[in-house]
Chains A and B, each alone.
Chain A
């Protein structure tokens, strides 16, 4: 058979028009929504898990004192508001980071990974599409836990500028954690197992980022270790905004924002590089679709 002739026959004269990125991402969101909607019980489970978590720490706050929280500079709301912000945002990023890994594993498990990546979809757009829906769901759960906290008596001291600053910090929080998720997904591509990166990141950040207690309570070495995690700066900044009404004019907030920006600038290329290495290695081995 004349191979050249065959290629000529199946070649398209005019390459198909490139699909805009927003439409590809929207397709991912719609697909994930449809899949998610079929697992209503999991939705119920996520919601009830958060409700139980918030109520547990509300009841725990009844046996705590607010002294350490106030000494750390968070003026209003006491321990419950402090813990509520910690839990809500930690769950938010954990859920989002975890979902990147889970969706990659799910694609491998279902054998759809190879199909998607052998289309004209770029791997960066693929990643973006995979995380978008998870962020929508986790944002809804974040708002729900904050609302539940308010119902249980959490107090905030905010101004329009402090709320705006908190939103900026949240965006930086998402960006920094996306990097960790992408890095971890790159590892999964190659090793085909739950990533130790997410695992180590998850428990370490819970221990040293001040989710449940002010950093001042930690020994100096753990306090220093905590400074390596973006969650530490985000939580401190968000708490200063929501519990003390601070905004971009505060040096403490500016310092937190700067640290997060530096983290994102340094971590993004590294994470994308590691993902590319894992992705290319899996393609070379022919194990992209293997679980």
Chain B
């Protein structure tokens, strides 16, 4: 038997090329269905979210309001200050860990090889997984805000302008970190570990971003204070607080400065992240370690 004949037999005249949108949709929908099948997990996480907001409200009873005023958002109660921080920090953590977490899962389950050998472009895979991450994380962020505003009566400024501005800031925040998430995913493909690195990164971001305390108190430790202002999250949180606490919009001067910094991080990090990811994919294909765990 001639091998060429067999190849000829299996060869399609025109290779199937679905549109990239269909690939993105397929990746998103497959993963979203998996998410929906974990009903217990969803219920448990929802209850945890409500409990954590309640916990912060009790913690807020011990806070001296005059000291929170140092944060620069005027006479604001601590719960408003912390609620915006907690909602955005959780959202960011879930978004940036999503890609690396799902890749590790694919490697462990042995499904990465079929994905890579299929016609699905890795870019479509990244986008599809990310959209799933945005939607699921958005559900929990909305939960934090709804419980805070609806049940605990946290006085956040909610109107069409602030809502749209807040959504824009959240998108920019995620985009500014997307490069790092993609980079971590690329490293996981090669080294098969790295999720802890994302976790550590998220913890440091949350700590230095000033989720629970005004960054003013970090000034006494200049190195940490400088690092805090090197992180895009600090700018995103500042903008989110100005919008939801002070009623600023994306066109307010202070918020525009934050937007400019976030855009700069996005422009710098996304190409680096994509390059590292491509390097990771090519390397495991070259080494034949796609299915290795």
Contact = CB atoms under 8 A, between A and B. Distances in A.
* A and B found bound together: yes
Interface of A: 41-42, 45, 48-49, 52, 55-56, 59-60, 62-65, 67-69, 79, 193, 196, 199-200, 203-204, 206-207, 212-213, 217-218
B179 to A, nearest CB: 22
A217 B58 contact: yes
Interface string B185-226: 000000001001001100110110000111001100000000
Contacts of A199: 44, 48
Contacts of B62: 64-65, 67-69, 79, 213, 217
Contact of A63 (B48, B54, B55, B67): B67
Interface string B70-81: 000000001000
A52 B204 contact: yes
Contact of B213 (A62, A203, A212): A62
A52 B203 contact: yes
Given A48-B200, A199-B48, 15 more contacts: A42-B196, A45-B196, A52-B203, A52-B204, A52-B207, A56-B206, A56-B213, A59-B213, A59-B218, A63-B68, A63-B213, A64-B63, A207-B51, A207-B54, A212-B58
A44 B58 CA distance: 32
Contacts of B158: none
Contacts of B193: 41
Contact of A203 (B47, B78, B206): B47
B196 A41 contact: yes
18 contacts: A41-B196, A42-B196, A49-B200, A59-B218, A60-B212, A63-B67, A63-B78, A63-B214, A67-B62, A68-B62, A193-B40, A203-B47, A203-B48, A206-B51, A212-B59, A213-B58, A217-B58, A217-B62
A64 B58 CA distance: 12
Residue among B48, B58, B207, B217 facing the most chain A CB atoms (10 A cut-off): B58
Interface of B: 40, 44, 47-48, 51-52, 54-55, 58-59, 61-64, 67-68, 78, 193, 196, 199-200, 203-204, 206-207, 212-214, 217-218
Contacts of B214: 63
Q: SS class of chain A's interface: helix, strand, loop or mixed?
A: helix
Contacts of A48: 200, 203
A204 B52 CA distance: 10
B61 A217 contact: yes
Given A60-B212, A203-B51, A68 B61 contact: yes
Contacts of B40: 193, 196
A185 to B, nearest CB: 18
Contacts of B58: 212-213, 217-218
Nearest to A193: B40
Nearest to B214: A63
Contacts of B44: 196, 199-200
Contacts of A206: 51, 55
Contacts of A52: 203-204, 207
